[in-house]
Chains A and B, each alone.
Chain A
Amino acid sequence: MTLHLSIMLWLPLAFGVIGLFAPPRLAGRIALAGTGLALAYAITYVVDYDSGAAGLQYVTDETWIGELGISYKLGIDGLNLLLVALTAILWFACTLWANLREVERSRLFYFHMAFAETAVLGALLAQDLALFTVFFDLMLVPFFFLTGMWGGARRVQATMKLVIYTLVGSLLMLTAAVATGVLAAEGDLPLSFAFSDLAQRPLGESSQQWIFLFFAAAFLVKMPAFPLHGWMPDGYRTMPLPALAVFSGVLSKVAAYGFLRVCLPLFPDASEQFQMLLLLIALASILYGSAMAFTTTEARLILGYSSVAQLGFITLGIFALNEQGAQGALLQAFNHGLVVAPAFFIVALLAARAGGSQDIRDMGGLGMRAPALASLFLIVAFATLAMPGSANFVGEFYILLGVFTEKIVIAIVASAGVVMAAFYTLRLFITAMHNRTGARVETREMTFREGLVLVPLVLLIIAIALYPQFGLKRSEKTVSAVTAPVTEQQNAAEQPERVDALGVAAPEIEAVPAP
C-alpha cells in the first residue's frame, strides 16, 4: 500500500502555510483544499481498512530523535480509524463554514485552523508515546491563537485560562510519558517510546500508579470532566464558532482516546486499581453536566455542559474495563463529535436570528417559519439525547451494558443521566424553536449556504444511525486487544467470580439489537 499516513497528516498544515503567503481572499479556499484532500484520504482509509486484522495498518516507522528513543511512528487501527475520519469530516465542515463567511486576518485564521488539524491528526495517529505527547501539547497552540485573536468578549483572559488549565495536565503527562519510557527501559533494553515496545515492558505497580494519575489528570482536564472543567464555560463562551465546533467535537475525544491508547494497555494494574475513582468522576460529570445543562440559559453552555455529561458516559464506558464498555465508548466518541458540531452550527444560526444573543430566552418561535432548520435541529437533538434508533443509543447501550456487568449500582445511577439528557436537549429545542417568538427574533429560513454545511452532517448522523455496525465492526478486533491486559489482570485477581460473570456477559455481545 502506498497510502502514506504522513501525507494525510501534513497536508492541512502544508496548505495552511501556503495560504499564509497567498492573497488574503484566497487563504480560505487553499485551506479548504487542504482539509478536503485530508478528508479524501481519511475516507480512503475507512473504506480500505481491513477490519479482520487487529494490529496496526499503514504503519510508518522512522527514527526521529534516536538519542531520546523517540520514533516517528504512525499507524491506524480500530481505535483511531473512526476518530481520524471524524477529525477530517469536522475540520472540512468547519473550514467550509468559515469560508462562507468573512473572516478577519483570514490568512492567519486558516493557518491556525490547518495547524490544529495536523496536530489533532498527529495525536490520533501517533504510535509512539513521546510523539503522542508532542502532538497532544501542540494541539493547544493553534487554539490559543484562535480563541485569543478571533474570540468574543474577554477572549484573552479566556484563552489564557484555557491554555494554562489544560497545559497543566499536559505537562504532568510529559513527565509521566518520559518516566514510562525511562523506567520501562531497564537493564540493557534500548530506550523506546513506541507503544508496541512499551506494552511488552510492564512497569512496577508503584510507578504505574503515579504515572497513571498524571496521565488521567491530563486527559480529564482536556475532556473536561467534572472537578476539572473550570476553563470550559469561559472558553466555550468566547471561542470563535468554527474553532469551538472542532474543539468540542474532536479535542475532547482525543482525551478519551488517550485513555484507551495509553492507560489501559500500558498501566493495567493501575487502571484496575483506580477504576472506581474514574467511574465516580465519570458519574459526577454525568450528573453535574446534566444538571448544569438543564439550568443554564446560554445555548453554547448548554451544549458545553451536555458535552461534559457525554464525556462522562464515554469515560464510564472506558473504565468498565471490558470490551463492551470500550466499544460503546469509542462509538459514542464518534457519535458525539458528529452530533455536537452541527448542534453548535445550529446554535450559531439561531443566535444570528435572535439579534446575536446566545441566550435561549431571547430565541423561540422559529419552528413554524423555518421548518427545514427545525427538522435538522430535531434530528440532531434526538441523536444527542440518544433516542432509540440513533447510533448514540447503541453507544450508550453498550456503555451501560459494560458497566452493568462490572458495577451495577453505578450503571443504574448513570442511567438517570440518559433520562436527564432528554430533559435538557428537549428544553433547548423547545425554547429555541417553539414557544413565543422572542422580541428581537427574525424568523427566516435557513439559506442555501447555511445548509451546505449542516445538511451533509445531518445526513451522516442518519446514515450512522441506520448502520452502526459500520464503526463497531472496524473497532472490534483492536478494542478486544486493548482491553485484554486489564481483563487478564482482573481474571488473575478474582479468578472464581470473574469466570462466571464473563460467561454471562459474552453471549450478550451478540444480543445487542441492531436498529
Chain B
Amino acid sequence: MIAAAEKIAGPEIDWAGLSPLIAVFAGALVVLMLGLVVSRTARETFVPGLSIVTLLVAIGLSISQWGKRQDLVAGALRLDELTLVLTILFCIAGIATVLLSWRHLAPREAAHGEYHALLLTSIAGMIVLVAAQNLVSVFLGLELLSIPLYVLCATEMRRASSLESGLKYLVVGSLGSATLLYGMAFLYGATGATDFAQIASALGGDGDLVSDPLLLTGIALTLVGLAFKASVAPFHQWTPDVYEGAPTPITAFMAVATKAAAFGIMLRLLDVALIDAAIDWAPPLAVLAAITIIVGNVGALGQSSLKRLLAYSSVAQAGYMLAGVVVANRLGLQATVFYIAVYLVMNLAAFAVIVARERETPLGDDIASLNGIGATRPLLAWPMTISMLALAGFPATAGFVGKFYLIEASVDGDYTWLAVFIVVGSMISLAYYLKVIAAMWMTPSASEAGGAVAAPAPLPGGETPALAGGSDEATGLRAQGEVVAVAVVFGALTLILGIVPSPLFDVMRDVGAALGLL
C-alpha cells in the first residue's frame, strides 16, 4: 500500500514558486467565508480590505520570486519573469478594481463575499493562464478566468443591461473557448504533444510539419479562440456591448487584466511553442493586427458612451499590441509586455474618472458627464486628460514610449507597413480622444449652462432632486476619495512612466531574457 502510494506520488511541487497563486486562492476562500459575517460594516470594509491585502501579498511574493526560471507542477506551469510581471499587473488591476467598487452598487447587490471571491478567482485564473506551458493548463486557466467574469458582468442584478452583458459574454466566451479547445486538439494531433517544449521540438525536428494541414488548422482555430478573448477584430463584436453593460469597475478590470492575460498566453504559445511555425501564423496575424487597428479606431469615432468608446479603443490598442506579437523576436516581446503595462496604467486612470462621474452626475457614462470638469473637478480632469493623450500616443506620456517601442520593434522585424498602420490608427484615434478632452475643458458644464444638458442625456438634468441635482457641487455629490485617488495615482504614473521609463525597461529586459528569444 505504502509502496503503491510512493509509486504514484504526485509531482515535485515548488511551493515557493506557486506562492503568489496560492495566496490569491487562499484569499478568495477567506473572503468568501468572511462574506457570511452578519455585521454589514464588517462585510463592507473587511471583505474588500482583505482582498486588497491578499493582492498586495501576492505582489510581494511575486517580487520575492523574481529571477527564478523553472517549471512548476511537472511542467504544467512555468515560473519566469513573464509570469511574474503579468501577475503583478493583474494584482494591480485587481486592487484598482476593488477600490473602484468599494462603495459601488454591484458588490452590494451580489453580496460582498461572492463578488470579491469571484474577482480573486478570476485573477488566479489569469495567473494560471499566463504561466501555462501545457495546452491543458492553458484551457484550465482560461476557464478559471472567464467563468467568474461571466458572473461578475451580471452582478448589477436589477439592471437589465448588466444581465444582458453577462449573458452575451457567456455565449461569446464559450464559443471562443470551444474554438480554442478544438484548435488545441488539432495541435495535439499534429505534434503529438500538449507540452509547449515538446511541441516546439516536434516542430523543430520535422521541417515538413510546418505545412501540415492539421497543424495549420490547429493554429488557426487556437488563434481565433484567443482572438475572442483579446477582442481582436473581427472577433471583437461582443466587446462594446459587454463593456457597456457590465458594472464599470468590472469593465475596467476586463479591459486591462483580461486583455493582458490573453496577450500573455499568446506570447508564450506563439513565441515558445510555435516559434518554428512563425511563417504560418505571423503573416495572417499581421493582417489581423492591421484590421483590428482600423476597425477599433473607426468604431470609436461616433460613440457618445465613454465605456463604448473605451471598448473600441481597447480593440484598437489590442491591434497595436498584436503588432508586437507578430514580430516574433525579443524586441517584439518586450515591446508588447511594455505596452500591456502602460495600457493598464492609462486605462485605469480613465475608468476611475468614469466611475467618479457616474456617481457625481445623472448622466451615467455619457461623454456629457465630463462637460466642464476642467474648471470644477481638476483632480479628475487632469488624469483623464493625461490618459487620453497617452492613449492617443502623445509624447511625455507612457503611451508615447509604448508606441515608440512597438514601432521600433515592427520596423526592426521588417514589418514597417504595420508600423505605418499603427500611426494611421493613432491619427484616426485623435478624433475621439480629443473629443473627450474638449468636453472636459472646452464645453461648459451642465450646471454652468443653466441646468440644460448639451448632449443627449438619459435623464433630464437639473430637475430631479438629490441624485440629479442640477449642480453636482450644490448637492455635494462627490465621488469618494478612493476613486479620485485611483484616478490621480494612475494619471500621475502615466506621466511619470512617460518621462522616466527606464525602470520599466529594466523589468522588460528580464522578461525578454526569460523566453530565450533572439
Contacts and interface: CB of A to CB of B under 8 A. Distances in A.
**Interface size class for chain B?**
35 or more
B423 A175 contact: yes
Interface in A51-83: 65-68
B423 A171 contact: yes
Interface string A115-140: 00000000000000010011101100
A138 B427 CA distance: 15
Contacts of A135: 395
Interface string A466-486: 000000000000000000000
A125 to B, nearest CB: 15
Contacts of A159: 438, 442
A133 B411 contact: no
B434 A65 contact: no
B427 A168 contact: yes
Interface stretch (A176-184, A386-394, A399-407): A176-184
A33 interface: no
A159 B438 CA distance: 9
A137 B426 CA distance: 13
The A contact surface, by secondary structure, is: helix
Given A134-B396, A148-B441, A163-B430, A65 B501 contact: yes
Interface in B418-469: 419-420, 422-424, 426-427, 430-431, 434-435, 437-438, 441-443
Contact of A105 (B375, B396, B400, B435): B375
A179 B434 contact: no
Contact of B404 (A66, A167, A174): A174
A330 B405 CA distance: 34
Contacts of B426: 171
Interface in B381-416: 389, 393-396, 400-401, 403-405, 407-408, 411-412, 416
A206 B515 CA distance: 35
B505 interface: yes
Interface in A155-210: 155-156, 159-160, 163-164, 167-168, 171-172, 174-175, 178-179, 181-183, 191
Nearest to A181: B408
Contacts of A149: 374, 441-442
A141 B430 CA distance: 12
B41 interface: no
Given A105-B375, A163-B434, A167-B427, A183 B411 contact: yes
**Interface size class for chain A?**
35 or more
B430 A167 contact: yes
B441 A179 contact: no
Contacts of A156: 438, 442-443
Contact of A175 (B405, B407, B505): B407
B509 interface: yes
B419 A175 contact: yes
Contacts of B508: 67
Nearest to A63: B502
A164 B297 CA distance: 14
A174 B392 CA distance: 13
A148 B405 CA distance: 31
A190 to B, nearest CB: 13
A160 B434 contact: yes
A183 B423 CA distance: 18
Contacts of A274: none
Contacts of B408: 68, 178, 181-182, 191
A144 B250 CA distance: 33
A171 B442 contact: no
B441 A145 contact: yes
Contacts of A65: 401, 501-502, 505
Which of A135, A144, A149, A178 has the most chain B CB atoms closer than 10 A to its own CB?
Answer: A178
Given A141-B389, A145-B441, A164-B427, A178 B404 contact: yes
Contact of A130 (B389, B404, B416, B430): B404
Nearest to A173: B423
A138 B395 contact: yes
A159 B508 CA distance: 38
Contacts of A68: 401, 404-405, 408, 505
A389 B502 CA distance: 54
Contacts of A134: 395-396, 400
A138 B498 CA distance: 12
A137 B437 CA distance: 17
A174 B416 CA distance: 12
Given A160-B434, A164-B430, A164-B431, A148 B442 contact: yes
Contacts of A191: 408
A134 B501 CA distance: 14
Interface in B5-19: none
A145 B407 CA distance: 28
A68 B422 CA distance: 18
A27 to B, nearest CB: 14
A164 B422 CA distance: 16
A360 to B, nearest CB: 29
Nearest to A179: B411
B434 A174 contact: no
B67 to A, nearest CB: 19
A172 B423 contact: yes
Contacts of B374: 108, 149
A36 to B, nearest CB: 25
Contacts of B442: 148-149, 155-156, 159
Given A65-B502, A134-B396, A160-B431, A174 B411 contact: no
A145 B505 CA distance: 32
Contact of B420 (A168, A175, A183): A175
A308 B405 CA distance: 36
A182 B408 CA distance: 7
Contacts of B407: 174-175, 178
A137 B394 contact: yes
A138 B419 contact: no
B411 A138 contact: no
Nearest to A183: B411
B323 to A, nearest CB: 12
A113 to B, nearest CB: 15
A66 B419 contact: no
Given A67-B505, A149-B442, A160-B434, A171 B427 contact: yes
A54 to B, nearest CB: 30
B411 A144 contact: no
A130 B407 CA distance: 12
A183 B375 CA distance: 46
Contacts of A171: 393, 423-424, 426-427
B419 A178 contact: yes
Nearest to A169: B427
Contacts of A182: 408, 411-412
Contacts of A133: 395
Interface in B220-242: none
B464 to A, nearest CB: 29
A148 B442 CA distance: 6
Which of A65, A130, A172 has the most chain B CB atoms closer than 10 A to its own CB?
Answer: A65
A67 B330 CA distance: 12
Contacts of B501: 65
Which of A67, A108, A133, A175 has the most chain B CB atoms closer than 10 A to its own CB?
Answer: A67
A133 B423 CA distance: 14
Given A68-B405, A68-B408, 10 more contacts: A67-B405, A134-B395, A137-B400, A138-B394, A148-B441, A175-B419, A175-B420, A178-B404, A178-B411, A182-B408
9 contacts: A67-B509, A68-B404, A160-B435, A163-B434, A164-B430, A168-B427, A175-B419, A182-B408, A182-B411
Which 9 pairs of residues, A with B, have the shortest CB-CB distance? A134-B395, A171-B423, A67-B505, A148-B442, A182-B411, A178-B407, A138-B395, A137-B395, A168-B427
